[in-house]
């Protein structure tokens, strides 16, 4: 009898835990929906008592207006930035830094042979120069790749800022406070 009561109590407890978990999941899902402005990192507050549905309509209209006036679509911009970053990474994987290393090695070998000849052993000087040149060339190649990535990020950030300014101006014209 004790066993049946214990099993029943555990069964009821498990059912309550499952019900609470489902309720928590539903609540979390509905509260995590972001507005269009929040998705872009712009914080909008209605100053004239606009409803949330009116705010959504106004955000949609301002989004379209900002795209037309800046030529920047934030969702397309992020796709373009990712594509450019992948292209830079593909170029580096295809041999741009390795080519930089080979060019550096050739230059280093030539210089090393010259200095090695002065010191009496051109072959040893060329080998040392090639190794140093290879490492230096690879470092320059990687630095160039990082600079290209930085340029893409900076251009994307500037375009996004221009879009956010236009979007915020439109929302402020519709009686909202907008900050980014």
Range with lowest mean pLDDT among 21-25, 65-69, 70-74: 21-25
pLDDT value, residue 93? 62
Range with lowest mean pLDDT among 1-10, 57-66, 153-162: 1-10
Q: Which residue has the higher pLDDT, 85 or 67?
A: 67
The pLDDT of residue 26 is above 90: no
- Residue among 155, 150, 179 at smallest CA distance from 167: 179
The whole-chain average pLDDT of the chain stands at 75
Query: Which helix (DSSP H) or strand (DSSP E) does residue 179 occupy?
Result: strand 176-179
pLDDT value, residue 81? 82
- The count of other CB atoms within 10 Å of the CB of residue 97 is 20
Backbone dihedral angles phi then psi of residue 33, each to the nearest 5 degrees: -70, 130
For 76-119, write each residue's pLDDT tens digit. 988 888 888 788 777 766 555 445 556 655 565 555 555 555 65
For 159-174, write each residue's pLDDT tens digit. 999 999 999 999 999 9
Instruction: Tell me the mean pLDDT in the region 174-178.
Output: 97
- The count of other CB atoms within 10 Å of the CB of residue 142 is 15
pLDDT value, residue 172? 97
- Residue among 166, 179, 177, 180 at smallest CA distance from 61: 166
- Residue among 58, 36, 38 at smallest CA distance from 46: 58
Predicted model pTM = 0.59
pLDDT value, residue 143? 78
pLDDT value, residue 12? 46
- The count of other CB atoms within 10 Å of the CB of residue 18 is 10
pLDDT value, residue 146? 83
């Amino acid at each position: 009898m004790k066993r049946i009561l214990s099993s029943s109590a555990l069964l009821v407890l498990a059912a309550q835990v499952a019900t609470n978990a489902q309720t928590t999941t539903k609540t979390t899902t509905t509260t995590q929906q972001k507005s269009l402005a929040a998705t872009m990192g712009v914080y909008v507050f209605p100053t004239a008592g606009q409803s949330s549905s009116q705010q959504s309509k106004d955000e949609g209209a301002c989004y379209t207006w900002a795209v037309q006036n800046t030529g920047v679509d934030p969702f397309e911009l992020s796709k373009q930035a990712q594509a450019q970053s992948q292209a830079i990474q593909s170029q580096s994987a295809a041999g741009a830094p390795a080519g930089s290393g080979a060019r550096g090695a050739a230059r280093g070998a030539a210089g090393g042979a010259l200095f090695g000849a002065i010191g009496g052993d051109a072959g040893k000087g060329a080998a040392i120069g090639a190794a140093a040149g290879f490492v230096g060339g690879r470092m320059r190649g990687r630095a160039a790749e990082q600079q290209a990535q930085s340029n893409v990020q900076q251009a994307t950030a500037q375009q996004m800022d221009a879009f956010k300014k236009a979007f915020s101006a439109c929302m402020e014209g519709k009686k909202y406070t907008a900050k980014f």
